[in-house]
Amino acid sequence: MDYMPKRILITLAILFVSLCVTAQETKTAITSKQAKITDEINLSAADIELFKQQTKQKVEEFQQYIVTLGSKDEPAEKRNMAEKEALKLFYKGAEMEITTILPDGTVQKVNRPMEKYLARLKSLPFTKVIIKFYDIAYIREFTKGPDGKYYSTATIIQEFTGFSNDDIIYTDVTKKEVEIIIDIVEDTFFQEKRWKIFLGDIKATETKTAVS
């Protein structure tokens, strides 16, 4: 009487293991296929040129948000909106490298997540902050990475001045390298995948005292 149920249980167990293995193989095959498709999709020269133009636009947009965030003359609502919109420009996990010239002339560097950097920028201990940007000096050619994304770097020059009443108590000029990333994202509205440009990590490559 016990023989038949054991056979059935063994058969079901074998069937279950077989289904699990098949499902895993299918999942692996789909993942490999997606990776292969991503690897085979390439941007044309015209696409690259268009994204270079968009890079300039996005960097300029970010610069304007920074100017707004730093200005204590702007309404709090406008500064909060600038903070929110600036974050939308960045790839998830992006960081800002911050530099400060110490009294002895050495340069201190600190990396902060972009959201923390933007939040701190609104509450700097100055009565007035002026941030200026020079034109983008250079945008490197995009190259495709092993992950299927395209990468480039934009160079910007930022001048920062902090006041205590009418007195300048800190000022510097920093050369920054902005990582540019082009990735395929899911457009939920149109239900299709498309290329989109993001700003990535920002590194401070050189910081000097601003000449007044």
pLDDT at position 138 is 82
Each residue's pLDDT tens digit, 188-204? 777 788 899 999 999 99
pLDDT at position 32 is 47
Cβ atoms of 159 and 66 within 8 Å: the answer is: no
Q: Cα 119 to chain center, whole Å?
A: 16
Say if residue 63 is in the same domain as residue 161: yes
Say if residue 21 is in the same domain as residue 123: no
Say if residue 49 is in the same domain as residue 30: no
Query: Which distant-in-sequence residues (6+ apart) come within 8 Å of 39 by Cβ?
Result: 148
Say if residue 127 is in the same domain as residue 60: yes
pLDDT at position 13 is 56
Say if residue 35 is in the same domain as residue 48: no
Q: Which residues of the chain have pLDDT under 50?
A: 1, 3, 27-38
Say if residue 24 is in the same domain as residue 53: no
Say if residue 64 is in the same domain as residue 79: yes
Cα–Cα distance, 91 to 120 (Å, whole number): 19
Say if residue 91 is in the same domain as residue 189: yes
Total domain count, the chain: 2
DSSP state of 200: E
Amino acid at 14: I
The model's pTM = 0.78
Say if residue 36 is in the same domain as residue 93: no
Range of 93's domain? Answer: 44-208
3-class DSSP state of 61: helix
Amino acid at 209: T
Each residue's pLDDT tens digit, 113-138? 999 999 999 999 999 999 999 877 68
pLDDT at position 197 is 94
